[in-house]
């Protein structure tokens, strides 16, 4: 249905733009091709949540577009930044200067995304970040050429915090990774919990990549809080969940994973994660459309997509929509168009792009199923609540983005 609508709009736009040929270079797509770069981590810590899956997602988008938009070919290039910001920045510059890349997507890893945002803004191209979680992308480091898609730490804290308190989990104890990311995740969630009427009973900070969480969890257990918020990510989250189970914590208390991907659940297994609350921007089993798309993804990757992968697909669609509608790949024009035209695709409906670069879309509060409730691999979540985009993300009034005060980006 949506496709037909777009097809109609697209053909109309093409027809119209075909009639008005202009020799002005700015009006046409430069070098006759639309190149989109998937900047991801193929070999490091984040390769499972983005990685090859993001590349496949982008390719699926190109297939759905028939390989071209408004008469221009669409090409995907990709790079493994190996979790190194300087390799990423280097490659992005090369992409833009030498290879004519117009849009960079994924950008897994906050340091990479932040560095890339600057490069992209300098060269007047667009970055649509789905991989990095840092809210700095739409606050201190916002630019007129950044779109923050899929999720960010605020939305995760907000979603899980508010929703869990409403579900009855009103006393919290935090297990926090002792660095900026962990602190801000804890702070954001604590605020939200208190606003929703809950109390924060205590917190303990553990060093990054601590292999053993037993001592910290012991303290969590002693706190008798109903909910243990895991303000950490990746291997730390996985190990804390494992240890929590081992110490019988999960019998009397519930875990709330503040940054958990479906691949983490998959690698831990349901017996250990059941009952845990998780917020996500997307889930493969949300509706018919997501299921169909995810099946295509699964056939190629052998595993289900994460919200980051799905986000990449969405960014390609959004970008090409804009190109089709405006007839150009001029970044300013495209960003303006996107801000005025809410997008809908497999990822979400009516996704609004704000001036600070934040893309608003629905978030979902999930709870991990019990093993008995799951029909098979990857069937892991109950969708407990849909959080509308306008409520999920940091309000514009609280934003620290310099663009908002009227300065030019």
Partner 1 sequence: MSEVGITLDSLLGQLLLGLVNGSFYAILSLGLAVIFGLLNIVNFAHGALYMMGAYFGWIALTYFGVGYWWSLVLAPSLVAVFGMLVERTLLQWLYKLDHLYGLLLTFGVSLIIEGTYRYFFGVSGQPYPVPELLSGSTDLGFMTLPNYRGWVVIASLGVCLGTWFMIERTRLGAYLRAATENPKLTQAFGINVPLLVMLTYGFGAGLAAFAGVLAAPIIQITPLMGNNLIVIVFAVVVIGGMGSILGAVATGLALGVIEGLTKVFYPEASSTVVFVIMALVLLVRPAGLFGRET
Partner 2 sequence: MTFIRKHAVLIVLAVLLAAAPFLFYPMLVMKVLCFALFACAFNLLLGYTGLLSFGHAAYFGAGAYITGHAMTAWSTTPELGLLFGVGAAALLGLVFGGLAIRRQGIYFAMITLALAQMLYFFCLQAPFTGGEDGLQGVPRGKLFGLISLSDDSAMYVFVSLVFLGGFWLIDRIIRSPFGQVLKSIRENEERALSLGYDVDRYKLVAFVLSSAIAGLAGATKTLTFGFATLTDVFWGTSGEMVLMTLVGGVGTVLGPVVGAVVIIVLQNELADKVGSWVLVILGAIFVINVLLFRKGIVGEIVSRFGQK
Q: Which does 216 bind (CB under 5 to 8 A by kind): partner 1, partner 2, none?
A: partner 1
Among 146, 223, 280, 328, binds partner 1 (CB under 8 A): 223
CA angle 146, 257, 366 (to 5 degrees): 85
Least distance (Å) between residue 71 CB and partner 2: 29
| CA atoms of 395 and 181, how far apart (whole Å) | 20
Q: Which of 81/226 has CB closer to partner 2?
A: 81
Spatial CB neighbours of 408, under 8 Å, sequence gap ≥ 6: 144
The SS3 call for residue 13 is: helix
Q: Are strands 199-206 and 146-148 parallel, antiparallel or unpaired?
A: unpaired
CB-based burial of residue 337 (10 Å sphere; 0-12 exposed, 13-18 middle, 19+ buried)?
middle
Residues 140-179 that bind partner 1 (CB under 8 A): 178
Q: Name which of partner 1, partner 2, none residue 222 binds, using a CB cut-off of 5 to 8 Å depending on partner kind.
A: partner 1
Number of residues near partner 1 (by CB under 8 A): 41
Note whether 45 binds partner 1 by CB under 8 A: yes
Residues comprising the chain, all counted = 409
Least Å distance between CB 312 and partner 2? 15
Chosen residue from 14, 77, 87, 204 binding partner 1 by CB under 8 A: 204
Instruction: Compare residues 176 and 399 and give the one whose CB is closer to partner 2.
Output: 176
Nearest to 388 by CA among 356, 355, 352: 352
CB 153 within 8 A of CB 185: yes
45 binds, among partner 1, partner 2, none (CB under 5 to 8 A by kind): partner 1
DSSP result, 379-391 = --EEEEEEE-HHH
Among 216, 277, 297, 380, binds partner 1 (CB under 8 A): 216
Contact call for residue 82 and partner 1 (CB under 8 A): no
Q: What is the dihedral of CA 191, 208, 43, 139, to 10 degrees?
A: 30
Instruction: Please report which helix (H) or strand (E) contains residue 392, including its range.
Output: helix 389-392
- Would you tell me which residues interact with partner 2 (CB under 8 A)? 42-43, 47, 52, 55, 78-87, 89-91, 93-94, 97-98, 110-111, 114-115, 118, 134, 136, 141, 178-181, 207-208
Partner interacting with residue 246 (select from partner 2, partner 1, none; CB below 5-8 Å by kind): partner 1
Query: How near is the Cβ of 262 to partner 2 at its closest, in Å?
Result: 21
Q: Select the binding partner of residue 339 from partner 1, partner 2, none (C-beta < 5 to 8 A, by kind).
A: none
199 sits near partner 1 (criterion: CB under 8 A): no
Structure tokens at 232: 């950490």
Give the span between the Cα atoms of 356 and 320, in whole angstroms: 21
CB 211 within 8 A of CB 165: no
* Residues of span 261-280 touching partner 1 by CB under 8 A: 263-264, 266-269, 272
48 lies in the site for partner 1, by CB under 8 A: yes
Could you tell me where the DSSP H helices lie in 327-386?
331-340
* Closer to partner 2 by Cβ: residue 113 or 351: 113
Structure tokens at 307: 């919200």
Binding segment (CB under 8 A) for partner 1, from list 26-34, 141-149, 200-208, 342-350: 200-208
Residue 63 binding: pick among partner 1, partner 2, none (C-beta 5-8 Å cut-off by kind): none
Q: Which of 81, 95, 62, 233 lies closest to 157 in space, CA to CA?
A: 233
Tell me: does residue 72 bind partner 1 (CB under 8 A): no
Query: How many Cα atoms occupy the beta-carbon half-sphere of 309 within 13 Å?
Result: 31
Which residues are near partner 1 by CB under 8 A? 43-48, 178, 201-212, 214-216, 218-219, 222-223, 235, 238-239, 242-243, 246-248, 263-264, 266-269, 272
């Amino acid at each position: 249905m949506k496709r037909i609508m777009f097809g109609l709009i697209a053909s109309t736009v093409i027809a119209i733009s075909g009639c008005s040929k202009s020799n002005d270079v700015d009006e046409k797509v430069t070098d006759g091709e639309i190149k989109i770069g998937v900047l991801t981590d193929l070999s490091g810590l984040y390769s499972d949540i983005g990685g090859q899956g993001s590349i496949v997602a982008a390719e699926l988008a190109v297939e759905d577009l028939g390989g071209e938009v408004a008469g221009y070919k669409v090409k995907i290039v990709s790079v493994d930044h190996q979790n190194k910001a300087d390799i990423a920045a280097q490659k992005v510059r090369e992409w833009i200067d030498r290879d004519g890349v117009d849009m960079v997507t994924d950008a897994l890893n906050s340091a990479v995304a932040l560095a890339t945002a600057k490069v992209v803004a300098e060269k007047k191209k667009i970055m649509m970040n789905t991989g990095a979680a840092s809210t700095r992308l739409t606050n201190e480091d916002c630019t007129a050429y950044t779109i923050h898609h899929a999720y960010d730490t605020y939305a995760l804290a907000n979603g899980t915090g508010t929703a869990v308190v409403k579900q009855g989990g009103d006393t919290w104890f935090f297990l926090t990774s002792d660095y900026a990311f962990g602190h801000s995740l804890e702070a954001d969630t604590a605020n939200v919990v208190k606003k929703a009427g809950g109390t924060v009973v205590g917190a303990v900070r553990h060093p990054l990549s601590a292999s053993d969480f037993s001592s910290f969890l012991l303290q969590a257990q002693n706190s008798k809080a109903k909910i243990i918020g895991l303000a950490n990510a990746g291997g730390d989250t996985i190990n804390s969940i494992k240890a929590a189970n081992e110490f019988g914590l999960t019998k009397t208390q519930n875990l709330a994973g503040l940054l958990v991907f479906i691949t983490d659940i998959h690698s831990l297994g349901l017996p250990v994660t059941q009952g845990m609350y998780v917020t996500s921007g997307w889930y493969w089993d949300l509706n018919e459309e997501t299921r169909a798309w995810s099946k295509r993804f699964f056939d190629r990757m052998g595993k289900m997509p994460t919200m980051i992968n799905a986000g990449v697909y969405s960014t390609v669609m959004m970008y090409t929509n804009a190109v089709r509608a405006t007839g150009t790949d001029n970044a300013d024009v495209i960003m303006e168009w996107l801000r005025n035209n809410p997008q809908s695709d497999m990822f979400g409906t009516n996704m609004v792009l704000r001036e600070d670069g934040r893309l608003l879309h629905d978030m979902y509060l999930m709870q991990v199923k019990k093993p008995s409730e799951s029909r098979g691999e990857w069937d892991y979540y109950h969708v407990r609540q849909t959080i509308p985009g306008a409520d999920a993300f940091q309000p514009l009034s609280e934003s620290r983005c310099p663009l908002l005060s009227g300065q030019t980006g």
